[in-house]
Amino acid sequence: MRSEAPPLLPIFRTRAQGEILALVLQDPDQEWTVSDLARATEVPLTTAQSEITRLESGALLSSRKVGRTRLVRANKANPATAPLAQVVLLTFGPRPVIADAFANLGAQRVIIFGSWAARLLGEPGPAPSDLDVLVVGDGISRTALYAAAESAQARLKRQVNPILRSTGAWA
């Protein structure tokens, strides 16, 4: 089956490839199992394996075996890794960065919506300049909410607009 290039950055072969790179390149020192990457990107294990193999053959990723487990990480020795990480962070990075930045709020849901989400889903339009994030939960401090948004904004180099709704208002 032939898959199409992702609309957010069509230079990548597939959306899975961009999402795997976003996860791995956001913290180049972290090692991931292939299963963890497949689960995090919501792609079949075989798809994750083939995308990782391609990226490894291009020297963007490296891996090592520990027993039967294959651990994958960014290949920091490749001079293309750092600039690619910046490009990937701007396009595929918002999902993992937002998940990380908003993880400790105790939110029931954190949802990216607006133009970035629309482009990710293939809707045509201009490149998104900001990220709209809906946070659903009770007892969430606005100070913590804005600190999470500022953290994500610093990493993504684009404005992050958080909106807080109670679980009752969301229902």
pLDDT > 70? residue 8: no
The answer, yes or no, to whether residue 153 has pLDDT greater than 90, is yes
Give which of 61, 90, 73 is closest to 27, Cα–Cα.
73
Q: Which residue has the higher pLDDT, 80 or 8?
A: 80
Q: Which of 8-12, 64-68, 81-85 has the highest mean pLDDT?
A: 64-68
Residue 171 has pLDDT above 80, yes or no: yes
pLDDT of residue 96: 87
Whole-angstrom distance, CA of residue 10 vs CA of residue 4: 9
pLDDT recorded at residue 156: 87
Average pLDDT, integer, range 160-167: 97
Tell me: the pLDDT tens digits for 104-134? 999 999 999 999 999 888 888 888 889 999 9
Most distant pair of Cα atoms in the chain: their distance? 50
- CA 84-161-30 angle, to 5 degrees, is 35
Taking 60 as the threshold, does the pLDDT of residue 7 lie above it?
no
**C-alpha span between 39 and 16 (Å, rounded):** 11
Q: What is the pLDDT of residues 20-78, one digit of tens each?
A: 998 999 888 999 999 999 998 889 999 999 999 989 988 899 999 999 999 999 999 99
Average pLDDT, the chain: 89
Query: What is the reported pLDDT for 49?
Result: 95
Per-residue pLDDT band at 164 (split at 50, 70, 90) = very high
CA dist list (Å): 9 to 120, 123, 165: 9, 13, 31
Q: What is the pTM of this model?
A: 0.70
Enclosing H/E stretch for 65: strand 61-66
CB atoms within 10 A of CB 127: 11
Q: What are 152's two structure tokens?
A: 């994500």
pLDDT at 5 over 80: no
